[in-house]
Structure 1
Amino acid sequence: MSDLFKKELLFKILVVGDFGVGKTSIIKRYAEGTFSPKYKMTIGADFALKQLDWDSETRINIQLWDIAGHERFGYLTSVYYRYAVAAAIVFDLTRPDTFFAVAKWLADLRDKVSLPVGRPLPVIILANKGDVAANKVPPQIEEFCKKNHITSWYVTSAKENRNIDEAMNRVVVEVLENQRNNNLYNSDSVMLAEEMHTDKHNNGQLCCSR
């Protein structure tokens, strides 16, 4: 752990949604600052790392897990979801059917993963491809979020880098609020960060072993 920071945390954040909604594009934009109109189809799951110097005492390492859209409700999602502390559900504004799938993804998340004290994961919704269809936001999204206790949703565009940082920062804020208010996953998060730091020095790469 760096001497510059008193705390170094690792948060696993899931990015889920139907096939082709832009999950990989959002993750690449946030983690690497890049965008490509073409990405290979995600098979199973993949992840990227984003490091945030959150304040003068805290460094946060975020593992963004890209869950393939074809994995919905498959037995492997329980494995992929393990140790997650938050999630973003993505749908495509140009494909209305992907919004209706959000409810199924949310139910799958809440059925298979929760915080240590049984509280549900913090979840945000990303209405992606806002650069071409910002006027097609489903009118029922506000009611859906209220009914399902989702505090935030954003119109995003990975292509134009619209609301990506803002949305992910909101997720981190909710995770930290849970940590402060409920003393959740504190020791695990620090331990995971230390393991990651050790793996970087020993192997020259990140090894996710949990």
Structure 2
Amino acid sequence: MFIVDDDPSVLRSLTRMFQLEGYAVEGFAHPRQMLERGPGKRPGCVVMDLRMPELNGLELQAQLRQVGWMQPIIFISGHGDVPAVVKAMKAGAVDFLSKPFSTAELQAAVERALAQDRVASSAEQELAALRARFSKLTPREQQVCRMVAQGMLNKQIAAELGTAEQTVRLQRSRVMDKLEVDSVAELVRLLERLEPSQPTSGKSPGL
């Protein structure tokens, strides 16, 4: 996990507390230091102060996202106001704790953030694996894949592509093998994850 706070005593206290709890902790006394470090390994989370010199917490939040930091962010502040809270949460912060807060409250917020990041990281890894499998398809196989997901019959696909129905059957079989799916329903779900903006049909694809 990562802690950003320009108050040396707060930074030391929080770093030591989480280290004693068994967390791997990196502390930064200045927002620029964290930006220079580069994105950390996941799962993880960031605990940062809202009000810091030169670059405040909201500005740091935006810049971290721009350079590839995806870990959930928890804001802590003694000066939190409603507009700042709303802006932070809309930008993806998972929690906003106003000082004074208890150790238990902060630890609970960190556990929630870490759990959220574990789920997100796992989903991203799974999606990357799906993309890798889809990339194994030839351009024509990708066409056939999308048409099958839209509910088109083999003979309809053959007519659309100007090819033989037997060729479509072979291409369809290769699609299923390369994507490691056993049914059209699985194929549809996989394609919906890869291309959520592409509409799929509720028709029952034929063989």
With structure 2 as the length reference, what TM-score do the two structures score? 0.48
With structure 1 as the length reference, what TM-score do the two structures score? 0.47
- Whichever structure has more helix as a proportion of its residues is 2
> Which protein has greater RCO, CA pairs closer than 8 Å, 6+ apart?
1
Q: Which has the larger radius of gyration?
A: 2
- Whichever structure has more strand as a proportion of its residues is 1
